[in-house]
């Protein structure tokens, strides 16, 4: 038993060093990219869009890097990436997004990926693990240069064989969907070239399995799993920040008021 405990402690220590190195690399990336071509990151520049909520993608060879996500644009209509923070929590993941159609005032994109969550890899004492396959369909309507409407259908395939621990359900909520199959609405108002106000609403059409709900959450209460949020996005050269507040299921767990904060750099 002592040898087993010692081996487990050494394994966790090794994983902690790896995670610390990944964080250090992430924080150093902006400096390492200092010699890159001039960045253009504001709404006054053609092709700069809020890819995280819309059917648009990063521009060709554009890099987005931050604590929440690292993504790279290819060919002007494709992007690949990973939710960086989830990897640190033991949810190893990758995603790809493809803008399959665009015309003036309208765009469609599809997105898919894979998430394998094993809390034991980051020191959580549990045998639970699950692999999920997310899929999204994004529609964007550009009403004017200052106003856009984004609709999203979100599907998260996960079939756990046991009750998920608290940490798993928090990560599941961090991924975004409020149900196995859900709908999301984003209203985006742009104020000048550097600011945008975003209002969000999400509702499940199909609830999560009982294994992915907290004990006092009703698997038939779709209204109780709705989520609303408001945030402000600001762009300053390469640096972008999004701050806001919401109410509903989130990384904090059950329904509650939750903060929103996303920091990232976009290099093009």
| pLDDT score for 25 | 53
| pLDDT score for 129 | 73
Opening angle at CA 24, ends 238 and 41, nearest 5: 5
- The pLDDT tens digits of the residues spanning 148-191 come to 999 999 998 776 666 776 767 777 777 667 778 899 999 999 99
The domain locations on the chain are: 2-267
Beta-carbon contacts of residue 174 (< 8 Å; ≥ 6 apart): 85, 86, 250, 251
> For residue 256, what are the CA distances in angstroms to 167, 169, 247?
17, 14, 5
State the Cα–Cα distance between residues 173 and 166, nearest whole angstrom.
11
| pLDDT score for 9 | 47
| pLDDT score for 247 | 92
Of 194, 199, 235, 231, the closest CA to residue 64 belongs to: 235
Q: What string of pLDDT tens digits covers the 268 residues of the chain?
A: 555 555 444 544 555 555 555 555 554 554 455 545 545 567 767 778 889 999 999 989 888 988 888 899 988 899 998 888 777 777 788 899 999 999 999 999 999 988 887 766 666 666 777 788 889 999 999 999 899 999 999 998 776 666 776 767 777 777 667 778 899 999 999 998 889 999 999 998 987 777 777 767 767 777 778 899 999 999 987 889 999 999 988 777 777 898 998 989 888 7
State the Cα–Cα distance between residues 93 and 115, nearest whole angstrom.
4
Looking at the domain 2-267, which fold is it? Porin (2.40.160)
| pLDDT score for 234 | 92
| pLDDT score for 193 | 85
Percentages helix, strand, coil for the chain (3-state, rounded to 5) are 20, 45, 30
């Amino acid at each position: 038993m002592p040898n087993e405990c010692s081996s487990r402690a050494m394994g966790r220590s090794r994983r902690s060093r790896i995670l610390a190195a990944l964080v250090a690399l992430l924080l150093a990336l902006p400096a390492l990219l200092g010699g890159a071509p001039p960045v253009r990151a504001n709404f006054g520049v053609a092709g700069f869009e809020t890819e995280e909520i819309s059917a648009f993608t990063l521009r060709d060879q554009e890099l987005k890097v931050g604590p929440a996500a690292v993504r790279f644009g290819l060919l002007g209509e494709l992007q690949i990436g990973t939710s960086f923070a989830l990897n640190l929590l033991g949810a190893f993941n990758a995603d790809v997004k493809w803008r399959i159609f665009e015309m003036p005032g309208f765009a469609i994109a599809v997105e898919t990926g894979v998430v394998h969550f094993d809390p034991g890899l980051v020191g959580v004492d549990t045998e639970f693990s699950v692999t999920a396959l997310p899929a999204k369909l994004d529609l964007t309507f550009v009403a004017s240069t200052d106003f856009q409407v984004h609709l999203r259908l979100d599907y998260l395939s996960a079939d756990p064989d046991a009750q998920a621990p608290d940490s798993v359900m928090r990560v599941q909520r961090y991924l975004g969907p409020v149900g196995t199959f859900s709908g999301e609405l984003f209203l985006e108002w742009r104020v000048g070239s550097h600011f945008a106000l975003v209002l969000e609403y999400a509702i499940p059409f199909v609830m999560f399995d009982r294994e992915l709900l907290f004990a006092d959450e009703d698997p038939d209460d779709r209204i109780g799993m709705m989520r609303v949020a408001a945030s402000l996005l600001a762009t300053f050269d390469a640096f972008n920040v999004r701050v806001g507040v919401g109410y509903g299921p989130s990384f904090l767990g059950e329904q509650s008021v939750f903060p929103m904060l996303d920091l990232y750099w976009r290099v093009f």
